[in-house]
Chain A
């Protein structure tokens, strides 16, 4: 059974840092591209970042570029999101999501974790 379990969320002051983790199990983690998606309270979904299966290709949403860093450790079956210079508008539930292995034009997220809440407030 595919499982994605996020951790590392919590309360942080504006300007602070936080590192999120996503532990993967039930599949060959090193073969899959991964993403972070977030959802502010009462708002819609927002794609945050993508990382290729090897970690060599990375993309970010403009809203987090230069402040967030995605990474992975395939030996530990883990995905990470280092968040620096946090702002109130970064307050959200952060989900890790696996890219499906269909055709490129399909581009879907087939499995999601349960999410971890990040609150940026003084």
Chain B
């Protein structure tokens, strides 16, 4: 089965730009989706597909992909963006199995 790799922790100064990355072979065939999770809460979808944001997600969140790496970029990080972020994609086997990255803890300084 596939694996997705994320950096365990990333920090960013308030108002600055941060990129969170996700690497895995499945990303050569499938898009990553990104989820924000705050303590005690359910995950929330923030980016999916090529670079799509669900309704209500601020436009400071954007996504991109190149080769086996997907990235979530927060331009002008806010205090409320401090959270865990998870990437997810379909398994490279081509069926409906899914795989999550290990998650990245984002700290806004």
A interface, CB within 8 angstroms of B = 33, 35, 37, 44-47, 50, 52, 57, 59, 61-62, 95, 100, 102-115
Contact = CB atoms under 8 A, between A and B. Distances in A.
Contacts, number: 80
Name the prevailing secondary structure of the A interface residues.
loop
B49 A109 contact: no
Interface of B: 1, 29-31, 33, 35, 37, 42-45, 48-49, 52, 54, 84, 86, 88-90, 95-103
A107 B96 CA distance: 9
Given A45-B43, A47-B88, A107-B90, A100 B48 contact: yes
A64 to B, nearest CB: 12
The 4 closest A-B pairs by CB, nearest first: A108-B33, A108-B48, A47-B98, A106-B49
Nearest to A46: B100
Contacts of B29: 105
17 contacts: A35-B98, A37-B100, A45-B88, A45-B103, A47-B88, A47-B98, A47-B100, A59-B97, A61-B97, A95-B43, A105-B90, A106-B49, A107-B31, A107-B90, A108-B33, A110-B48, A111-B45
Contacts of B52: 102, 106
A114 B98 contact: no
Contact of B42 (A47, A106, A107, A115): A115
B35 A45 contact: yes
A114 to B, nearest CB: 5
B40 to A, nearest CB: 10
Contacts of A107: 30-31, 33, 88-90, 98
Residue from A50, A61, A108, A114 whose CB has the most chain B CB atoms within 10 Å: A108
Contact of A47 (B30, B44, B45, B97): B97
Contacts of A50: 96-98
Nearest to B31: A106
Contacts of A47: 88, 97-100
Given A100-B48, A108-B45, A45 B100 contact: yes
Given A100-B48, A102-B48, A112 B95 contact: no
